[in-house]
Chain A
Amino acid sequence: MPASSIKSIVSLVKGCVETSPNLEIALESNPSSLSIEKLQQFKADGSINRLSIGIQSFQDSRLKFLGRDHSSENALQSLLDAYKVFNSDRDTVSCDLMFGIPGQSETEWIRELNWLFDNINDSSHWNALKHMSLYQLTYEPGTPLWRIAVKSSIADFNPLKTSDVTAAMYEAAVALLHTRTNLRHYEVSNYAMPGHESVHNMAYWKGWDYIGVGPGAHGRYSDDAKSERIKTMKFVKLDAYIQQCKSIDANGTQIRKKMYDNVAIMKELIVVGLRVKQGICFENANNLAFGADVRQVVNWDAVERFRKLKLLASDDKKSFLQPTERGLAVIDSILLDLLL
């Protein structure tokens, strides 16, 4: 996408709504589509101040397995270029990496991270290391990767039965970033220097409203007057989406508007909220649930059990609920017992 398109989209949005002075405009990109010039245009013309680069791996064999068209060499170059261009205090560059790739060992993974940090350090961009996303490879049913995984039975589909290799990789990365970088683990897969957390992603996890534009995009908005929260989703198929945008009632391109009940709203707030280290502040959550007490969907006996196991933290007033570092790693299992 050329920077000019981004520019027109940004100015269109700014013309529609009032924006905050420290507005974050984020862009996701593959390393192969980035050059110094392009990066500069994104920053200058597109007003982009947050760039996520989907590097995934610095190992060519792993990139091949993942079906990426970039090499480890140009991935590193793109990252260092981005650090060079997005160099103001307000700018954030995020490097997205993946672990749990078949064949990858914990040693290889840690060596890869250390190699990256050495390179960033050697190129004197250490201060630009403000955000990383480290994802465990997941197999989405129906994707080619999933089919490969099933065929060669390489995938760990059931975390309750699997080996601990990916768990060890996850834990090792948490520990390494903690000791070697200034980044803090703030969400399951995300690490940031304080103040550089992804604003739009935090919106999902805090349970704020968001507007999704584009084929298949989801959104949520609250109608405070009616105390209702509405889900929106756009057509997934590109043709249908374009056709609808061009039609007379292009105004409402939602294909689904679904009001959901208060219990569902409250449960969703818990599920997304416990993915972040700071957890859930019930005063805020209750406001988002139109004043209902979100604590009523929580099994507090289970909370007590998890507090004793040092997987969750809370206070006796039940004013907040927070996962510990260990709790965060198993939060899906916790949620099964936690939600009523």
Chain B
Amino acid sequence: MKFIVRVLRVGESRTHIDHGKSTLADRLLEATDTTETISTTASGGGNKANQRVLDKLAVEKSRGITVKAQTASMFYTHPVSKITYLLNLIDTPGHVDFSYEVSRSLSACQGTLLLVDACQGVQAQTVANFFLAFSENLAIVPVLNKIDLPASDPQKVLRQLETAFDIDSSANVLQVSAKTGLGVPALLERVISDIPPPQSPVSKTEPFKALLFDTWYDSYVGVVCLVAVHSGQIRKGDRITSHHTKLSYDVISLGIMHPEQTATPSLSAGQVGFLHLGMKTTRDANIGDTFYAATTSPPPTPFPGFKPAKSMVFAGAYPIDASEFPKMQDAIDRLTLNDASVSVARESSTALGQGFRLGFLGTLHMDVFRQRLEEEHDSTVINTAPSASYQVAYKDERKVQGMEWNENFGRNVKIIRNPADFPEPDELGNVEAFYEPIVVGTLITPVEYVGGLMELCGTHRGEQLEYTTIDENRVLLKYKLPMSEILTDFYDTLKSRTQGYATFDYEESGYARSDLVKVNLLLNGHRVDALATIVHRAAAERVAKTWVKRLKGVVERQLVEIVIQGQVDGKIVSRESVSALRKDVTAKLYGGDVTRKMKLLEKQKAGKKRMKAVAGGIQLPQEAFLSLINGVEDSGDSSGGKKKK
């Protein structure tokens, strides 16, 4: 079959709520007969229409978000020219946390569909995605989605596009409904006319060279590599070499994603497809690597490669039962086979024993990974509060271990990813400066919420950089914010203050000097390392008070009184106590009650396995750690009616 290749990507604008992007991908797959068309007119078809073929992970389907980029190849015959084209579609995550996934997919693309919700208008993520595609020199095809909804206002959104991106609103921007399929045929025609084919000539005679842009682990065939073929051709049995590892492999099998793996005799320049190379671990498959025909001499110039994924957020993960550590290690190993962007290091905590310090690309990435870990591990995992990665410069570096050279500061620093590594009070005299990571956040909000958002950013130590009115009732704000300020409740508060209308996106922006202190929580005088956090001095007392209160709210009464204290710089600044349990005994236990009592006891003992004994035998429920992070409503003294017994 003859075909002309186009590689495109669907970029989108919203996260969490919108299903527009993956739904459009579904429609494109159907319109090209890649998947069966699902009737949306049949009763109950509304839900089926959102089946999200390309979202393969359970967590993606359950949360309605795309975490991992997915690829599909489609054949499209132009209705007028009757030429058949091969379109390679890459569905990428919309959320900022996964921009690492986005940027590596972009390099395999020639164009992007910039999807904008015709009801919601331009969002913070749209801005981020636009400039990402723009910087990669991709052809950008703006598409207004959801025009079937009564609330859609295409004219207004077109004006926003013009203000924000200089996109000419008269340029016949496509208007579609991914839900009903309206406008999808026109969209396909536009892809052919506006997105150029891959630049390299389709030459089968040149030596084979391809970019590795994604991998995953399959328990049957081992590592599956997704490549964009740059030049030449590859067939089953060919021998290829990795530029990075210099290892050579025989191609066991190859093909295109249609949308599942479909074997083909060969892959040629311009095509995107999969390779089975018998690779045992994804560690050998470096995203951004160049594969070339083993016979090529001298080896070709490699592709520039990708920046490795950089962890922004760190948190501890511990098994609730120490004996489950090896099992948890296995679960993490399995998960990281498919998500190499999670950094994993072993750590141990006095309170929680052996565990892991995991590094994530952002908080959503963290949430998603934690959910997958709990499912994969099939047991309770204790997650500690997230922390940014801080840096400390010392006056006398000889007294400090583990210093690392920092290019930007031109000096050695110590990197702190765990509050437990924060300098002790007696070491503070030797500290010259603390540095914390900074982000630049973009917020787009209806004008009536601007005041609330400016106040929110203000209380989170934000510094305004930009204020732009993008249409008569929408404002774009840019703020410089410390990373740590957006780790916990910032996003939720932003959503609740604007009834979900405001959107937020951020990019990292280096480090800034900051006055940091560590807040410790003490239980009956014992410091619990897993409950410590690093905050700005100005917030320290407030955090110490809030955390102590929150902890009191989740700690159950035990056989001893529990005194909870918050400590800043070695000084106690807050205190609460949970009095000792005074009565817990069955009133009547006679002959007929014994069997039932024994059963109840076994049940309760099983329930206790979800508790972790920390300082002095005090038992903390798993929720204790989470409540500190998420600030579960301070229900403190309210009745315990909902509690199980």
Q: Give residues in A with beta carbon < 8 Å to B.
A: 135-138, 153, 157-162, 164, 166-168, 170-171, 188-189, 201, 204-205, 210, 212, 216-220, 231, 264, 267-268, 271-272, 275, 305-306, 309, 311, 328-336, 339
Chain A residues in 8 Å Cβ range of B586 = 138, 188, 332
Assess whether B641 is in contact with A153, with CB atoms less than 8 Å apart.
Answer: yes
Contacting pair A219 B641 (CB below 8 A)? no
User: By the criterion of a CB under 8 Å from any partner CB, how many residues of chain B are at the interface?
Assistant: 33
Query: CA separation between A331 and B601, bound complex, in Å?
Result: 12
Contact of A309 with B598 in the complex, beta carbons under 8 Å: no
Q: How far is the CA of A33 from the CA of B594 in the complex (A)?
A: 29
With a CB–CB cut-off of 8 A, which chain A residues contact B640?
A: 158, 160-162
In the complex, which of the residues A153, A189, A216, A335 contacts B601, with contact meaning CB atoms closer than 8 Å?
A: A335
Q: When the two chains form their complex, are residues A157 and B641 in contact, meaning their CB atoms are under 8 A apart?
A: yes
Residue B581 CB within 8 A of the other chain: yes
A311 contacts across to B, CB distance below 8 A = 559
28 A-B pairs with C-beta separation under 8 A: A135-B587, A136-B583, A137-B587, A138-B587, A153-B639, A157-B641, A157-B643, A158-B640, A158-B645, A159-B581, A159-B584, A160-B556, A160-B557, A160-B558, A161-B640, A161-B643, A167-B583, A168-B582, A170-B583, A218-B595, A264-B598, A272-B594, A305-B617, A306-B559, A330-B583, A332-B586, A333-B558, A335-B601
Chain A residues contacting B590 (CB-CB under 8 Å) are 201, 204
| Inter-chain residue pair count (beta carbon < 8 A) | 115
Whole-angstrom CA separation of A140 from B513 in the bound complex:
62
| Contact residues of B: prevailing secondary structure | loop
Contact with A along B126-159 (1 / 0, CB 8 A): 0000000000000000000000000000000000
B399 interfacial contact with A, CB 8 Å: no
Q: Is B589 an interface residue (CB 8 A)?
A: yes
- How far does the alpha carbon of A264 sit from the alpha carbon of B595 in the complex, in Å? 10
CA distance A339 to B606 in the complex (A): 12
A328 to B597, CA, bound (A): 16
Tell whether, in the assembled complex, residue B582 and residue A167 are in contact, meaning their CB atoms are under 8 Å apart: yes
Please state if A330 and B589 are interface contacts (CB–CB under 8 Å). Answer: no
Determine the residue in chain A with the shortest Cβ distance to B582.
A167
Known: A332-B585, A333-B559. A212 touches B591 (CB 8 A): yes
Q: Which residues of A contact B644 (CB under 8 A)?
A: 158
Q: How far is the CA of A311 from the CA of B588 in the complex (A)?
A: 20
When the two chains form their complex, are residues A218 and B594 in contact, meaning their CB atoms are under 8 A apart? Answer: yes
State how many angstroms separate the Cβ of B611 from the closest Cβ of chain A.
Answer: 10
Bitwise interface map of B from 612 to 645 toward A, beta carbon under 8 Å scored 1, else 0: 0000010000000000000000000001110111
Known A-B contacts A136-B587, A339-B601; A212 and B582 likewise in contact (beta carbons under 8 Å): no
**Shortest 6 CB-CB contacts between residues of A and residues of B:** A161-B640, A167-B582, A167-B583, A159-B584, A158-B645, A160-B556
Residue pair A334, B559 in contact (C-beta under 8 Å) = yes
Chain B's nearest CB lies how many Å from the CB of A77? 26
Closest to A311 in B: B559
B581 near A268: Cβ-Cβ < 8 Å: no
A336 adjacent to B601 (CB under 8 Å): yes
Given A160-B557, A271-B597, also A330-B582 (CB < 8 A) = yes
Partner among B556, B584, B594, B641 whose Cβ is within 8 Å of the Cβ of A332: B584
Distance (whole angstroms) from the CB of B579 to the closest CB of chain A: 8
**Given A164-B582, A329-B585, 13 more contacts at CB 8 Å?**
A136-B587, A138-B588, A159-B645, A160-B643, A167-B582, A204-B589, A212-B592, A218-B594, A271-B598, A271-B601, A272-B594, A329-B582, A329-B583
Instruction: Report yes or no: A135 in contact with B583, Cβ–Cβ below 8 A.
Output: no
Distance between Cα atoms of A219 and B582 in the complex (Å):
33
Asked if A210 and B591 make an inter-chain contact with CB atoms under 8 angstroms apart, the answer reads yes
Nearest CB in chain B to that of A305: its residue: B617
The winner among A136, A137, A162, A168 for most chain B CB atoms within 10 A is A162
With contacts A158-B643, A161-B640, A162-B640 taken as known, whether A331 is within 8 angstroms of B585 at the C-beta atoms is yes
Contact B585 A217 (CB under 8 A): no
Q: How many angstroms from the CA of A339 to the CA of B598 in the assembled complex?
A: 11
- Complexed CA–CA distance, A330 and B583 (Å): 5
Bound: A199/B234 CA distance, A: 91
> How distant is B105 from chain A, measured CB to nearest CB, in Å?
51
- Tell me if B252 counts as interface (CB < 8 A to partner A): no
Whether B643 pairs with A188 at a CB distance below 8 angstroms is: no
